[in-house]
Structure 1
Amino acid sequence: MREKILSAKKKFVALHGAKPPRKGRDRLPPGQTLSAGFPVLDLGIHPAFDPRTWSFSVEGEVANPRTWTWPEFSRLPQIEQVSDFHCVTTWSKFDVSWGGVQFKTLADIVLPGERARFVVCHCSDDYTTNIPIDDALAPDVILACKLDGAPLPVEHGGPARLVVPKLYAWKSAKFIRKISFVEKDDPGFWESRGYHSHGDPWKEERFSQTIVFSTPN
């Protein structure tokens, strides 16, 4: 699995490392509008957080399935990263500052097997979403527990959410409690309702099929 992680790192550098960072409007994917604020969109459920009972698990096609309590999760190596955030509803926010645990840190611990090709995120509000493993292993993907240096507020998915900067924000699952490594793609909440299985904002991968909105006569 370490070879797979190294391969994913090399692929990420090959695709992105040699390119200068996008500036200004060049950072805005097609169809997006820059937002000064940070809108809140979710299923309308904000689960209560109790650090005494909270837990986070990684399971599935892994050698070492693990479950962490909140104190244990908080002691994992932490990083800070600044990235742009693109919502499928056509707004984007530049330079969002996150802090948390790199996804690849978790992968190094649980050691996904050769059959693991996707990850599925499970959340406290019963939300799910699916992500290809190569995207999940990108260096900027983290389990965020801080926003702008402060504990992640519940409206933005606290105490912990996934952040996948290169994909539309519905892939950055809020209130995350479990990640499963799986062999076959397993469409999540929005994917099973017509959203694209991948969700690349630069390719405008919003929907997997044509959706027609009709109005009453």
Structure 2
Amino acid sequence: MSLSGPDDPKYQSGSPPEPGSVAPEVIVSPDTRRSNRIPPGQVRTRKWPVLHATTVPSIPIAEWRLTIDGLVERPLEFSWEQFQSLPRSKVFADFHCVTRWSRLGNLWEGVAVQTLLQMAGVKPTARFVIAGAYDSDWTTNLPLPEFDQPDALVVDRHDGELLDADHGGPVRLIVPRLYAWKSAKWLKRLTLVADDRPGFWEEMGYHNYGDPWREERFTE
């Protein structure tokens, strides 16, 4: 049985979708198998709040590009048509915002981060990934081991629907094991680097790592 997102009667009645409800080919993020799926200090929401650091950028599909560069053997750039032709993956994952809400049981669809890293060829000196977005010079930083996970995706669909602009469309990053600000909206570039480079929110005082289970919200 596949998910139908917020229209699923179980979802509306208060019981969140469970890992066993997804099709066999869907990758299940390990945190969805916890007995308690709500991290410390979080509250579950059945809605999907919209929060931005800046304004929603206008990105014509014909002009959209995704670049993968930095410490890679083969720098890559994809148009929308090229991105759509890549192997597809689906991930069932929970989504935790640093502003203390959690949305459980999301079905994401897109291209696996591991597929893109294999295509680019990661150099041994790479230790971090800098995700850049179309809204100005916004970036966020991720340790490569957290980024290079089976449940990390570059997504264009959520719960069976194309990702809208308010939630990061046409394409956003999803790294389910970290707070949601690490899952960059309006994704434009992934740059592999040797040395860490704190991004927009990290420079504003957000935690450099962002593990929701350790409540790594802010730098102490």
TM over 0.5: yes
Please give the residue correspondences for 1:201-212 in structure 2 after superposition, counting only pairs within 5 Å: 201-209=212-220
Which residue of 165, 180, 197 corresponds with 2:208?
197
User: Which residue number corresponds to residue 45 of structure 1?
Assistant: 55
User: Which residue number corresponds to residue 179 of structure 1?
Assistant: 190
Task: Could you list the structure 1 runs, at least 4 aligned residues long, displaced by more than 3 angstroms after superposition.
Answer: none
Once the 2 structures are TM-superposed, how far is the Cα of residue 127 of structure 1 from its aligned partner? 1.5
Distance in structure 1 (CA, Å) of the matches to 2:54 and 2:94: 24
User: Which residue number corresponds to residue 173 of structure 2?
Assistant: 162
Once the 2 structures are TM-superposed, how far is the Cα of residue 181 of structure 1 from its aligned partner? 0.1
**Could you tell me the TM-score, scaled by structure 1's length?**
0.85
Residues 140-178 of structure 1 show CA distances to partners (whole Å, capped at 9, x for unaligned) of: 000010011111100000000000100000000000000
**Could you tell me the TM-score, scaled by structure 2's length?**
0.84
SS for the counterpart of 1:114 is coil
Once the 2 structures are TM-superposed, how far is the Cα of residue 42 of structure 1 from its aligned partner? 1.0
User: Which residue number corresponds to residue 22 of structure 1?
Assistant: 34
Amino acid at match of 1:132: P
Residues 92-143 of structure 1 show CA distances to partners (whole Å, capped at 9, x for unaligned) of: 0100111000000000000110110000001000220000000001100000
- RMSD of Structure 2 on Structure 1 (CA): 1.4
Distance in structure 1 (CA, Å) of the matches to 2:53 and 2:207: 18
Please give the residue correspondences for 1:53-202 in structure 2 after superposition, counting only pairs within 5 Å: 53-125=63-135, 126-202=137-213
CA contact (8 A) 2:32 2:93 kept: no
Once the 2 structures are TM-superposed, how far is the Cα of residue 49 of structure 1 from its aligned partner? 2.3
Aligned length: 191
Q: What 5-or-longer segments of structure 1 have no aligned partner? A: 1-15, 210-217
Distance in structure 2 (CA, Å) of the matches to 1:128 and 1:53: 20
Q: What 5-or-longer segments of structure 2 have no aligned partner? A: 1-28
Once the 2 structures are TM-superposed, how far is the Cα of residue 33 of structure 1 from its aligned partner? 0.4
Distance in structure 2 (CA, Å) of the matches to 1:133 and 1:110: 14
Aligned sequence identity (%): 42
Change (3 A) 1:67 1:20: closer
Once the 2 structures are TM-superposed, how far is the Cα of residue 51 of structure 1 from its aligned partner? 1.6
